[in-house]
Every structure is written in C-alpha cells, then in structure tokens.
Chains A and B, each alone.
Chain A
Amino acid sequence: MLRRVGVLAALFLISTTAFLMLDPVGSWEFLLPFRLRRLAALMLTGVCLATATVLFQTISGNRILTPSVIGFDALYVMVLTGLVFVLGGAGYALLPTPVLFGFNLATMTGLGLLMFLLLTVGARHDMIKLVLTGIVTGILIRSLNDFLQRMIDPNEFQMVQASSFARFTHVDSGLLALTAAVSVPALILAWRMRFRLDVLALGREAATGLGETPNRGHRQALVLICVLVASATALAGPFGLFGLIVSSLTYLIAPSSRHAVVLPVAGLVACIVLVAGQTIMERILDMATPLQVVIDMLGGLVFLTLVLRGRVS
C-alpha cells in the first residue's frame, strides 16, 4: 500500500517537474509564473472532475458511466453552439472572457441540476433508471447540437469545434481564481461526505439500515457533481473520457474502497494524467493534437496494462 502511494507521489513529482522545466522558451521570470498558473489550472480541473466522477459512480452504483458520458459535455457544447447561433461568430468572439465563463458556469450548473431534478423526479430515485434516462438525454442534447451546428455558417462551425475540446494553452488568472472560489468549497464538502459516501456505496437497503437516508445523500452529491463538473468545464472545456480513465485507474490502484482513500488517490491520478498528457502534447507532439486524444491514448494504455498484468485487487 505504501509502495503504491510512493509510486504515485513520484509520478506526480516527475510530471509536474517535467511540465515546469522541460523545453524552456524565454526568460524564467516570465515562464515560471506562466507555467505555474497553468499547472494550477490543470490540477484544479483534474481534482474537480475526478471527485465528481467518483461521487457519481458511488451514488449510481456503477463504474462505467460518468457525468460526461450522460451528457454534461454535450450540455457545454450546447451552450456554446447556442451562443454562436444566437450572437453569430463575431458576436461570440467579442464576449469578454469573464462574462462567458460566468455564463457557462451558471447555465451548466443550472441545466445540470435541472436535468438531474427531472431525471430524479421521473425515475423516482431509481438510480438505474436515472442513468439510463441520462444516456438518452445525452444523445438528445448531442443531436440538438448537431442540428444547430448544421444550420450555422461553416466558419462559425469551425469556431465551435475549436472550443469543444479541453485546452490549457492560456489560463487567465482571474478565471482561475473564480473557478477556485466555486470549486474548492464544493471539494471540501465532498471530502466531508466521505464517510457517508462509504455507507451510501453499500446500497439502498444497507444505507437506510445504518441510518443514512439515501435520497438526501444522493441529492447533496448531485449538487456537488453539477458544481464541480460545471466549473472545470467552464474553465477548460469538455473532457470526454478523462473522468472514466481516472476513476478506473483509481479503483485498480487504491488499496481500499473507502472514500477517505479513493478521493485523494483519484485526485492524484487525475493530476498525473492531466499534467503528463499536457506535457506530452505541448513539448513532444508540438500541439499537433487535442489534449483529449493524448489523455485517452495514455490512459487507455495504462489501464490495459494494469488489467492485463492482473493488478486488479
């Protein structure tokens, strides 16, 4: 157990050092703060998404679906497409970044909560139903996006496409502070839920028997998930399978399924994957591909190696 934590810590140090030090361009006085800011953004979004994914998988009792898969990413693209559709490409480009960020954060949290609310009421707290309906809702939103994107100008479509993947090439320190102000309290609340999450993970019957009302716990967790995913996505863009890769790796590596262990390990894994992915994408591949491609590739390879080596504990 200590060895695994040691390996993780070493990987974390290597990837962050590589990100900060490798391939310096220009003076260090400029480069270090610039890279540190981006490192902070990478780590913050990584921890947010990892926590949200673990929370979601715990309360839905599955390890395959993530908030991104059931339509959160599509929601972001919908807001984006909607804005470009209404304002036009030029109008969209003129929007000040903080306004855009605030709008994204608010609409995504709002729409996410609305989606969950409708699903929870419709599914009457049946998590399987919620998840299935979520997948269908995700498809619905994606089709709507396709429809809107087909109607806009090809140049504007290009613009939507460019913003539809997570990116960290430039991070505004104001936005970073805003994201931290929203997501750090949510992260603290998630951490304080860790023991209750252990009980909720036992399933509905056992949790009720132990005095932990499942419906209330699920509601609180869903609010935290919405806030965490919305703030990470509003800062950087959609992350695709990132959450799934992180959570799967975490369950393979973490020595215990208690959330007091799983949550920090997931956060650490997310930081490593994201920082290493960004370093490889920037310094080795010279930005030739979106970050998501690197992460999916890297994460997929590590995941397969772990499974095939039989490290499933």
Chain B
Amino acid sequence: MISIRGVSHSIGGGRILQDIDLELPRGGVTALIGPNGAGKSTLLSLVARLQKLKTGRIRVDDLEIGACPDATLARVLAIMPQSSVVSARLRVGEAVLMGRYPWHRGRPGRQDHEIVAQTLGLFSLTSLADRFLDEISGGQRQRTLVAMAHAQSTDYLLLDEPLNNLDIAASRHLMRLLREMADEGGKSVVIVLHDINYAAAFADRVVVMRSGRIVADGAPSTVISPALMTDVFATDARIHCVDGRPVVLV
C-alpha cells in the first residue's frame, strides 16, 4: 500500500501541494488526472523520491520515503523515466537488462537473462533487442522503458504521462500492457494521465487534483461527470456514456 499523509510541497514560495492525504491499496491501475499545474506530477515525483519530501510522510508498504535506502526501495517501486531524459546510448536488450540492476548490481546471472528474454517477448521487443534506443520509433522506445520497469520486478510502478507524443495505436497498446501488468502480474500501477478518456477506459480508480488538492477520488464512472468538467477543468465538454463507460467529447 502507498500511504501519503499530510504532504505539502512548495517550490520557490509557490504552493504546489497542500496537505495531501491519500491511500493507494495494492493492485489495480490508479490514474491521477487534473488540469495543468494541479500538482499531479509533483505528487508522483515525491512518491518516486525524485524530489525531496519536505512536509508529511509517504510510505510504500513498510518503507518510509526519505529514510529507507534507495537500493531497497528500487526492489519495491519502479519509475518509468520520461524517454526524453534517458540519455545513454543503449541497445533495447541492454536497457531491459539494466532494469534488473537493483537485483544483479551489474553482474546479471542466468535468472536475470531469463527474465529479460521473457520481458522482451511479452512486450514484442525480441526482434528489436539489438537496436539502439535512438534508432527505433517513439512508441517502441516508450515500450522499451515500460519493459525496463517491468523487468525490475517491483510491486509498484509509477508513470508520469507515458502517452506523450504517442499515436493512438501506441497509446492503446501501452495502456493495455499496463492493464495486463496489473491484472496478471499483480502490480499496482500509478499513472499521471492527461487524457481523461484513457483514464476512464483503463484505470480502476481516478484521483482528481486541482490547485494542489485532491478534489475527487473513485471509480471512473462515478467521478467523471459534467460537473467535474466545469468545476475542475473549467471547460464545458460534454460527457456521454458509451458501453457503460464515460466518454468525454472533445
């Protein structure tokens, strides 16, 4: 369980997060949504220890963020980095093997290679294993990064807007993979999303944020409503129910 208690955060005098309390139980896909500047990415980066936690407490299972060693946390919690910041010149296979680093510490054993081979197959990357990350398409690169996080074999996976710059096929494919990782792999996936329709289609739970606070929290069908669109997103987009799932008309 990820437990967030009384977390506030400010950068340069501006309040980004105000007194956030949130419990995310094990399993399932949770989407963080909200307008730009709501503090979704900041909240995620605090859980991921990419920014220093100043006020409040965050625990992942029994590990306290900021107190437990990074190497221990890396076996429990994986972060999918944004593809633009992965700078090294790596082959796809090498990158996925790198995901095993918290376990092999640089000396991969047979088990690590087996898991990498499995992961490459699972993400249909086997034929690309020897290609460099900057020689493949954006969708394939994004898939490699998710595969890397998958190979890390953690219970929790955090993703910050992984659908950026992906076309519809790549986006749906990626979301389906995450769904499978939650359903079959038993992982807990926490994902910051911009597109509400993707959240409605693939998440079990959506947490809506605005101005550094959580304003709604629950199943997509109960949370996503015309009132939410006007109150939180300040737009009058209509919402239809298609196949029992809310769809925002843009």
Contacts and interface: CB of A to CB of B under 8 A. Distances in A.
* Residue with the highest number of chain A CB atoms closer than 10 Å, among B70, B90, B107: B70
B75 interface: yes
Given A203-B87, A257-B90, A211 B98 contact: no
B99 interface: yes
Interface in A179-231: 194-196, 198-199, 201-206, 208-213
Interface size class of chain A, counting residues whose CB lies under 8 Å from the partner chain: 20 to 34
Contact of B50 (A204, A210, A212): A204
Given A195-B106, A210-B152, A204 B85 contact: yes
A198 B86 CA distance: 12
Contacts of B87: 61, 201-203
Nearest to B148: A206
Interface string B73-113: 11101111110011111100010001101100111000000
Contact of B102 (A198, A203, A210, A258): A210
B99 A210 contact: yes
Interface residues of B, number: 32
A205 B71 contact: no
- Which of B77, B79, B105, B106: most chain A Cβ within 10 A? B106
A211 B82 contact: no
B49 interface: yes
A209 B48 contact: yes
A119 B72 CA distance: 30
Contacts of B102: 210-211
Contacts of B107: 195
B48 A202 contact: no
A257 to B, nearest CB: 5
Contact of B86 (A195, A206, A212, A258): A206
Contacts of B88: 198, 201-203, 257
Given A205-B79, A208-B49, A209-B81, A199 B73 contact: no
B79 A208 contact: yes
Nearest to A257: B89
Contacts of A204: 50, 85
Contacts of A195: 101, 105-107
Tell me which of A195, A199, A203, A205 has the highest count of chain B C-beta atoms within 10 A of its own C-beta.
A205
Contacts of A258: 94
B86 A202 contact: yes
Contacts of A198: 88, 98, 106
A256 B97 CA distance: 14
Nearest to B104: A195
Contact of A202 (B74, B80, B81, B105): B81
B85 A199 contact: no
A137 to B, nearest CB: 24
Residue from A198, A202, A256 whose CB has the most chain B CB atoms within 10 Å: A202
Given A195-B106, A208-B48, A208-B49, A202 B70 contact: no
A208 B94 contact: no
A212 B79 CA distance: 13
Nearest to A192: B106
A209 B78 contact: yes
A194 B105 CA distance: 11
A209 B75 CA distance: 9
Given A196-B106, A211-B102, 15 more contacts: A195-B101, A195-B106, A198-B106, A206-B81, A208-B49, A208-B50, A209-B48, A209-B77, A210-B99, A210-B101, A212-B71, A212-B101, A213-B70, A256-B94, A257-B88
Interface of A: 61, 194-196, 198-199, 201-206, 208-213, 256-258
11 contacts: A195-B107, A202-B81, A202-B88, A202-B90, A205-B85, A206-B86, A208-B49, A210-B102, A211-B69, A211-B72, A211-B101
Interface of B: 48-50, 69-75, 77-82, 85-90, 94, 98-99, 101-102, 105-107, 149, 152
The 5 nearest A-B residue pairs measured at CB: A195-B106, A211-B74, A209-B79, A211-B71, A205-B81
